Amino acid sequence: MSIRELTPEQARARQLAGAVVIDVRQAHERAGGMAEGARGVAMGELLADPSLSLPSLEQEIVLICQSGRRSADAATALLAAGYTRLASVLGGTAAWRAAGLPLVRPGADDAECDFHDRYSRHLLLPQVGEAGQRRLQRSRVLVVGAGGLGAPAAFYLAAAGVGRLRIVDDDVVERSNLHRQIIHVDAATGCAKVDSARERLLALNPHIEVEAIQERVTSGNVDALMDGVDVVLDGSDNFPLRYLLNDACIKHARPLVYAAIERFDGQVCVFDAGRRRGQAPCYRCLFPEPPPPEFAPNCAEAGVLGVLPGLAGVMQATEVLKLLLDVGEPLAGRLLRFDALGMRFRETRVHPDPDCPLCAPGRAFPGYIDYAAFCAHRG
C-alpha cells in the first residue's frame, strides 16, 4: 500500500475536516514556522512509541516535514505499525509556506525566531546543532587587523554567529585597500578601519557584539586585548606583531590562527602550543628567526592578487569555528600552503621544538621582548 501524498491545500482541507497534522521535524526546525494547527513531534520520538502521540489506529493522520521526504518515511513506518489512514504533505512546510497557508511560530519571541531563521543551515548540521550554535553565541574572538585577512574572516565569523568580535587595528581605510579588504566601502575612505568594520558587521548581523579598538597592538596592551577571548585570529602583516601574538597566546594558553599572503601565494596554520605544550608547535617552532626583509616584502612592496587574502581569511575563519565548536581536525601542526595561480595546495607537518624558548614543556614564560629590534637585527 503506497502512502497518499496531498498538496498543502488538500492537507489543509483534511485538517479542517478533523485530520491530525503532525510536524515530524526537530524542534529547532519547527521554531522557524510550522503549519497552523499542527502538532510538533520529532520523527524519532514519534516512531519510538507512536501510541503516545497517536492512540487511535483509525485516526486520519497527515504528516508534514520540511520537504516531504521525512514525512513520507514516517508514514511508511506508521503503516507498518498498524495505522491505516495516512498521508504525507507533498513539498512539506516549504510548499505550505509558498502556498500562502497559515504558519505559526511555537513559543518563540522575536530573538528566538531570528536565531532559528538566521542559523537554520547550521542547526541542521550534527556537528553544530543548537548546542553548538549557542556555543558560538557565547564565544569571543580577537581579530588582529581589519585588513585583507581580517576583513573576510570577520565577515564570516559575524555571519556564523560568533557572539563577540574584538577587532584591533590602528589604521584608516585607503582607496588602495578596497580591492581586497572587502569589509570596507569607498565612502569609508579616511575612516578608522575598526569603525568601518564594526558598521558593516553589525549591518550583516545586528545580534552580535563588535568591539572596535583603534590601537596598535603592543607588549603594553596585548594582555588586556587577550582578556576573555577564546581564539586569536592573526590578520597582521608584519613579523614583530606575529611574534608578539604568538608569545601572548602561549602566555594565556589560547590558540592562534595564523595566515600570511604574498602576491599569489598564501599559507595558513594553527598554533596551539599554549594549551598543548610538547604536542603542538608555536609560531617560533616554525620560524625561530624572522627572514631578512628582502625575502618577506609586504603587499605594498610586492603586490597581491585581490582575492588571495579572501581565500586565506575564509580558511582562518573556518579554523576558528572548528576550534570554537571542537569539531574536525584543526590545522595544528600542519602548515597549509597554496598557490592561487596553479590552484595547488600543499601541507607540511610542523613539529614542536623541544628546545623552543617559549613553548617547551615546563618552560616559564620569559616575558615580552622588543619585537621590532628582534626582527630588525636578523638576516
Render pLDDT for 52-101 as a digit per residue (tens, 0 to 9): 999 889 899 999 999 999 999 999 999 999 999 999 999 999 999 999 99
Which strands form 4-6's sheet, in the order they lie side by side? 4-6, 86-89, 61-64, 20-23, 39-40
Give the pLDDT confidence score for residue 286 in this predicted structure: 94
Average model confidence (pLDDT) across the chain: 92
User: What does the pLDDT look like over 130-146, one tens digit per residue?
Assistant: 899 999 999 999 999 99
User: What does the pLDDT look like over 159-181, one tens digit per residue?
Assistant: 999 999 999 999 999 999 999 99
Q: To which H or E segment does residue 316 belong?
A: helix 308-325
Within a 10 A sphere around the Cβ of 287, how many other Cβ atoms? 15
Closest CA to 219 of 359, 363, 370: 370
Give the pLDDT confidence score for residue 379 in this predicted structure: 47
More confident residue, 30 or 184: 184
Give the pLDDT confidence score for residue 28 in this predicted structure: 78
Give the pLDDT confidence score for residue 116 in this predicted structure: 80
pLDDT at 106 over 80: no
- What phi, psi does 349 have (nearest 5°)? -75, 140
Q: Where are the alpha helices (DSSP H) in the chain?
A: 8-16, 27-30, 43-48, 50-53, 69-80, 92-98, 110-118, 120-123, 129-137, 150-160, 193-204, 222-226, 239-252, 283-286, 299-302, 308-325, 371-376
Residue with cell 596585548: 222
- What phi, psi does 116 have (nearest 5°)? -75, -35
**What is the set of domains in the chain, with CATH numbers?**
4-109 (3.40.250.10), 123-376 (3.40.50.720)
Q: With pLDDT > 90 as the criterion, what percentage of the chain qualifies? A: 82
Give the pLDDT confidence score for residue 293 in this predicted structure: 61
pLDDT at 377 over 80: no
pLDDT at 357 over 60: yes
Q: With pLDDT > 70 as the criterion, what percentage of the chain qualifies? A: 95
E strands present in 157-230: 164-168, 209-213
pLDDT at 23 over 70: yes
Three-state DSSP state, 289: coil
Give the pLDDT confidence score for residue 107 in this predicted structure: 62
User: What does the pLDDT look like over 201-218, one tens digit per residue?
Assistant: 999 999 999 999 999 999
pLDDT at 248 over 90: yes
Three-state DSSP state, 288: coil
Give the pLDDT confidence score for residue 172 in this predicted structure: 96
| Contact yes or no for 115/205 (Cβ under 8 A) | no
Provide the residue count of the chain: 379
User: What does the pLDDT look like over 190-205, one tens digit per residue?
Assistant: 999 999 999 999 999 9
Q: What is the mean pLDDT of residues 318-338?
A: 97
Tell me the three cell numbers of residue 194.
Answer: 575598526
pLDDT at 274 over 60: yes
Q: State how far the Cα of 234 lies from the Cα of 246, in Å rounded to an integer.
A: 9
Three-state DSSP state, 12: helix
Helix axes 308-325, 129-137, angle to 10 degrees: 110
Give the pLDDT confidence score for residue 109 in this predicted structure: 65
